[in-house]
Amino acid sequence: MPTPDDTNRLDDLRRDLGDVVGGNPEGRKNFVDDLRVLVDLGDKPDAAPAIDRLAQQVADAAAASKVKEANAPPLLLQVWTAVSARDLSEKQVTQLQADIKTTLTGLGVAEPSAQAIANQVGTVQKAVTDRQRRWYEVF
């Protein structure tokens, strides 16, 4: 669950995405920067390209579909979870991917773009996770 600081970050992401849809050239950079701040890139330097790619894909999809800022919070909460969660199981990641795809298609994003973003969520999670597979998950 988001803390008060995380709620402020989610508001920043919402404004950034609104700027992207509105055509503000700084919106994309701000969106990427606000997602990157969720990860200590000193500990996880491999996460930066994955996060950048996710941010660009989400920004592209939102701009193409003209996602209204008021409709973005559920999507942004899922993107925030993808970047900030450190202990999701494989099943939880799969569910998050399905949820984000459903949310995106509900916002009018084309299915191929929604699937690509869902796939990128898995890539981001592999880069940011601290979780090791449990013995009972191997079987």
Q: Could you report the per-residue pLDDT of 5-29, keeping only the tens digit for each?
A: 889 999 999 999 999 999 998 999 9
Q: Decide if 79 contacts 100 (C-beta within 8 A).
A: yes
* Inter-CA distances, 17 with 28, 41, 68, 87, 136, Å: 8, 22, 9, 27, 40
The pLDDT assigned to 39 comes to 92
pLDDT of 135: 54
Higher pLDDT, residue 133 or 14:
14
Six token digits for residue 72:
């973005």
Residue 137 reports pLDDT greater than 60: no
Q: Is pLDDT of 128 > 80?
A: yes
Answer whether residue 107 shows pLDDT above 90: yes
pLDDT in tens, 38-90: 998 888 888 999 999 999 999 999 999 999 989 999 999 999 999 999 999 99
Q: Which two tokens stand for residue 58?
A: 């989400």
What's the token pair of residue 131? 């979780």
Angle at 68 between CA 73 and CA 99, to 5 degrees: 45
On the question of pLDDT at 134 being above 70, the answer is no
